[in-house]
Structure 1
Amino acid sequence: MSRIRVLGVDLGTTALKAVLSDGRRVIGAASAPVPTRRPRPLWSEQAPADWWMALASACKALAARHPGEWRQISGIGLSGHMHGAVLLKDGKPLRPCILHNDGRATAEAKALNAQLPAHAGVAGVRAMAGFTAPKLLWLKAYEPGVLAVADVVLSPKDYLRFRLTGAFATDPVDASGMWLLDVAKRQWCPEIAAACGVALRQLPAIREGNEIVGPLMPVAAKALGLPSGIAVVTGTGDAAANTLGLGLVEEGDGVISLGTAAQIFVSKRAHVPAPAQNIHAFAHALPGLWFQMAAMLNGASPLAWAAELFAPEEKITTLLKQVEKGMARPSRLLFLPYLTGERTPNDDPAMRAAFMGLDASTTRADLLRATLEGIALSLADSYDVLTRSGTVPHVLYAVGGGFKSRLWAGMIASALGRSLSLIPASETGGALGVARLARQALTGEADAAVYTKPARSSVVDPNPTWQARFTDLLPKYRALYQALRPIR
């Protein structure tokens, strides 16, 4: 088994990434873009056919770069963005996929919460507009013909697996993200399905992430240049796939991911719901494992927005050096980073960003620093409700492009009041995570042998002066949000 080769596929919102791997390390990687369409305000959709084209393109590139090892692939693992709604009839999509960042189903999410108030704990969190179930309720109202005739409702990565194997299946993580799962039992919840107008026969079988769903069909093998009949495993949603790539499968293993969006993820050995705090308490990809997650829609993206707006001609690294010069002074500004609404701790897709404290002396560096601090405060706000729910990670890794800045990492450590273990940023963590699922399905190895943790590259400790300032700012940050909520 030392020469085992597997393919890990991670379908992102903007690109599909594929890695050739032995299930422990990345041997080669390729990606292909995926377009998003926004035909109306709040709408966000993708065509499943574009995902298949992206997969074929990435596979073609990998096969060209690694022809010998490409022919040795014996398994495929799949990950993808969660909460999407793909409805099929006779194997063909009935409409474009409604994505996780689509906000059309806000009223339907509120209706589900009102109709099923006790099911927030069952499903792991209150229903939110981005989840699949509210979208299905929206389809029931506005496109009833689509929902009525659909053979199956799939998540995005599960559509790709259907194209590979012809089988309908999903894993507990994507099933949790659909808001249709009894998370503790890892089974579909009949009451939620009925409330959405979905029959249980329209939902795929639930398989653990490291199970083999079926063999690669000849037609798919030909399209991707792979051997026919190789094993295709269930895989998992992207939130869990990234943590598998980091080996975070023990109780209390935690990670902050700071990319376009941000998450604080902690593995658990039991289902521990905290719906009042809008903490996502979902099933994990491996049997007997769950997780809690604070999900924030605005991670590093507000910094990219601010840099483009205030200093489009300069590099972000140059701007950060300007900000660092003023870090000895207390901040005079507050920034709410809600450019695209928010999930944790405030389920508020309509909330928007704001600066407070501007005056005639405010500089560009002041605004950029306030942006950095605002995102750090949003992470602290979510981390606080996570710990108050009873979950304190024993280790907190930090990954993502935002942590390339040591200055920002120090801000975040100070805002949270705890040390962060920085590890090298990886654009292929999710694809490696599901490659590991494929390896385990083929070899039967124990979790500890497959899901190994990376070596820590460095530890960032809180700065006592900054920590005191952030402790003072957090109540003001929360008060500003409450004050601006009525203003849309």
Structure 2
Amino acid sequence: MKYVIGVDLGTSAVKALLVNREGRVCGEASRDYPLIQERSGYNEQDPELWVKATVEALRGLVSDTGIDGNDVEGMSFSGQMHGLVLLDGEGNALRNAILWNDTRTSEQCREIEAKLGKRLLGIAKNRALEGFTLPKLLWVKRHEPELFAKAAAFVLPKDYLRYRLTGHLAAEYSDAAGTLLLDVANRRWSEEIAGAFGIPLSMCPPLVGSEAKVGTLLPAIAGQTGLPEFMGVFAGGADNACGAIGAGILSEGETLCSIGTSGVVLSYRDSGDNDYAGKLHFFNHGKKDSFYAMGVTLAAGYSLSWFKETFAPEASFDDLLKGLEQTTAGANGLLFTPYLVGERTPHADAATRASFVGMDASHGLPHFTRAVVEGITFSLKESLELLRDAGHDIRSLVSIGGGAKNETWLQMQADIFGVDIHRLESEQGPALGAAMLAACGCGWFESLERCATMFIKRSKTFRPNARQAERYADLFRIYGQVYENTRQLNEELSAFRTS
């Protein structure tokens, strides 16, 4: 039996997935690592811990499954986007990695907007947001100039991990698209953007496709993991790109709804010539010569976790979600907006905050639970409507993450989104997408589409209920008014927040 491994480098843990040629998951292993939060808004990690955790996970995967390591033919990677790892001329990390959820760079974002104006969207296809990589580079350049002067290159998190395992430095398009330094449509580093801010193009690593073989394991890594030196290591992709691959989002009309801590609506595109005016993210896909547009709800599943821990800490999520079956659409006139940590799409407003609207004495825990779940889903529908307005023909969605674990919530998604919702038989997320890239890189399949027919199965479809869909359309219209009617109030209330 031959295998490939997909490695997903997440924000809190790394996951390694062992998959055979039939697409069956034969084993998995994970190891976690801590965040470093020196002050409010700062989120960093020690990149050496990524390497240590990955080596341990791979060693555990081989040991626990009892396979012969020589039967593993390839490995590829998925990873958290936007993080900055600075390397010196010897390839050593100069400082902790600054992560995607670090918000210290607001001043640098305004600098980028002021200097580039509309050219930024024309080239990088995305607005300047704190999470992206270029603002982080500019922050280090300004606040740590001596360290920046030593920097010979920057890499993204999973690319650093791959470099440490193989000794070969490279970036691939889907992750590079999240730096604000890539000419997304033309798939090359932008000399114009880099030059505007004094970033030498020599700092940008060589670009390759997601299925490209970038090397083999270093002898020391092979010895520590039990994997062979000759095993092919492939470039991989950004976590959202790999998540899309692992859900089969590989052609026009295919769209993904992912409800985890944050929420994502992601839709495939063949062309890089789309203009979303900065309302949506637009990135290169892990599939060759392809792209995707994406809207983000910052506090999707997080809103439900916060609600449970605050108001029903003793309840399990399953028990809490029974409230969906005990209530009707609209939660008896109660609405929730999931803006606990600000919002990304469609408002891009860091100052806005969440609201319950319409509370009265008739509302109990089940109504509040339903309002939270409906609010999360309404927020994702706002991204869906932006995609539709931009010409995406959305015929159905694949739902993954926490929102796909409860059938009542899946039916709610069908009713609110107004399309069929597909659930996957076995959901493995970005790690499976990385494994699929390795499988194609090894020559097992002629294309990701062919690989998907073997690796991905849909288990159940939820179709919209016409009466419920009509009711939710009326509620969504009301929901859409809450942001504008609370925006000024939230700005004024910010003066009273202590953290």
TM-score by length of 2: 0.93
* Residues 1:5 and 2:16 are matched in the alignment: no
Please report how far the alpha carbon of residue 186 of structure 1 lies from its aligned counterpart in structure 2 after TM superposition.
0.5
Q: Which amino acid aligns with 1:365?
A: P
Contact preservation (8 Å) 1:273, 1:280: no
Q: Which amino acid aligns with 1:30?
A: A
Go from structure 1 to structure 2 and tell me whether the alpha carbon gap of 1:329 and 1:222 turns closer, same or farther (over 3 Å shift): closer
- Corresponding residue for 2:227? 226
Q: Distance in 1 between matches of 2:415 and 2:426?
A: 21
Please report how far the alpha carbon of residue 284 of structure 1 lies from its aligned counterpart in structure 2 after TM superposition.
1.1
Go from structure 1 to structure 2 and tell me whether the alpha carbon gap of 1:353 and 1:328 turns closer, same or farther (over 3 Å shift): closer
Of 122-131 and 341-350, the range deviating more from structure 2 = 341-350
DSSP-derived class of the 1:247 partner: coil
DSSP-derived class of the 1:421 partner: strand
DSSP-derived class of the 2:272 partner: coil
Please report how far the alpha carbon of residue 205 of structure 1 lies from its aligned counterpart in structure 2 after TM superposition.
0.6
Contact preservation (8 Å) 2:78, 2:430: yes
Q: Which amino acid aligns with 2:476?
A: L
Of 312-321 and 367-376, the range deviating more from structure 2 = 312-321
Please report how far the alpha carbon of residue 480 of structure 1 lies from its aligned counterpart in structure 2 after TM superposition.
1.6
* Residues 1:236 and 2:237 are matched in the alignment: yes
Alignment of 1:264-275 (within 5 A): 264-275=265-276
Please report how far the alpha carbon of residue 356 of structure 1 lies from its aligned counterpart in structure 2 after TM superposition.
1.9
Please report how far the alpha carbon of residue 365 of structure 1 lies from its aligned counterpart in structure 2 after TM superposition.
2.1
Q: Which amino acid aligns with 2:142?
A: A
Q: Distance in 2 between matches of 1:273 and 1:104?
A: 30
Contact preservation (8 Å) 1:217, 1:229: no
Q: Distance in 1 between matches of 2:220 and 2:202?
A: 27
- Corresponding residue for 1:115? 115
Of 243-252 and 297-306, the range deviating more from structure 2 = 243-252
Contact preservation (8 Å) 1:52, 1:160: yes
Alignment of 1:75-474 (within 5 A): 75-89=74-88, 90-116=90-116, 117-276=118-277, 278-327=279-328, 331-424=332-425, 426=427, 428-443=428-443, 445-447=445-447, 448-452=449-453, 454-474=456-476
DSSP-derived class of the 1:92 partner: coil
Q: Which amino acid aligns with 2:102?
A: D
Go from structure 1 to structure 2 and tell me whether the alpha carbon gap of 1:367 and 1:74 turns closer, same or farther (over 3 Å shift): same
Please report how far the alpha carbon of residue 315 of structure 1 lies from its aligned counterpart in structure 2 after TM superposition.
1.6
TM-score by length of 1: 0.95
Q: Distance in 2 between matches of 1:183 and 1:377?
A: 30
DSSP-derived class of the 2:74 partner: strand
DSSP-derived class of the 2:149 partner: helix
Contact preservation (8 Å) 1:277, 1:385: no
Q: Which amino acid aligns with 1:76?
A: M
Go from structure 1 to structure 2 and tell me whether the alpha carbon gap of 1:481 and 1:62 turns closer, same or farther (over 3 Å shift): same
Q: Which amino acid aligns with 1:103?
A: T
Please report how far the alpha carbon of residue 21 of structure 1 lies from its aligned counterpart in structure 2 after TM superposition.
1.7
Q: Distance in 2 between matches of 1:329 and 1:112?
A: 42
- Corresponding residue for 1:29? 28
DSSP-derived class of the 1:136 partner: helix
Q: Distance in 2 between matches of 1:469 and 1:196?
A: 51
Go from structure 1 to structure 2 and tell me whether the alpha carbon gap of 1:330 and 1:303 turns closer, same or farther (over 3 Å shift): closer
Q: Distance in 1 between matches of 2:110 and 2:275?
A: 18
Q: Which amino acid aligns with 2:58?
A: C
C-alpha distance after superposition, 1:292-315 (max 9, x if no partner): 111222221211110111111112
Q: Distance in 1 between matches of 2:167 and 2:329?
A: 60
Please report how far the alpha carbon of residue 251 of structure 1 lies from its aligned counterpart in structure 2 after TM superposition.
2.1
Q: Distance in 2 between matches of 1:430 and 1:110?
A: 32
Contact preservation (8 Å) 1:103, 1:349: no
- Corresponding residue for 2:497? none
Q: What is the percent sequence identity of the aligned residues?
A: 38
* Residues 1:59 and 2:61 are matched in the alignment: no
Q: Which amino acid aligns with 2:3?
A: R
Please report how far the alpha carbon of residue 383 of structure 1 lies from its aligned counterpart in structure 2 after TM superposition.
0.6
**Unpaired segments of 5 or more residues in structure 1?**
none
**Unpaired segments of 5 or more residues in structure 2?**
495-499
C-alpha distance after superposition, 1:312-355 (max 9, x if no partner): 11122222223321216663222110122222212123332222
Q: Distance in 2 between matches of 1:246 and 1:475?
A: 30
Go from structure 1 to structure 2 and tell me whether the alpha carbon gap of 1:231 and 1:330 turns closer, same or farther (over 3 Å shift): closer
Contact preservation (8 Å) 2:246, 2:456: no
Out of 480, 483, 486, which is 2:482 matched to? 480
Q: Distance in 1 between matches of 2:258 and 2:79?
A: 16
Go from structure 1 to structure 2 and tell me whether the alpha carbon gap of 1:376 and 1:328 turns closer, same or farther (over 3 Å shift): closer
Contact preservation (8 Å) 1:331, 1:370: no
Please report how far the alpha carbon of residue 479 of structure 1 lies from its aligned counterpart in structure 2 after TM superposition.
2.1
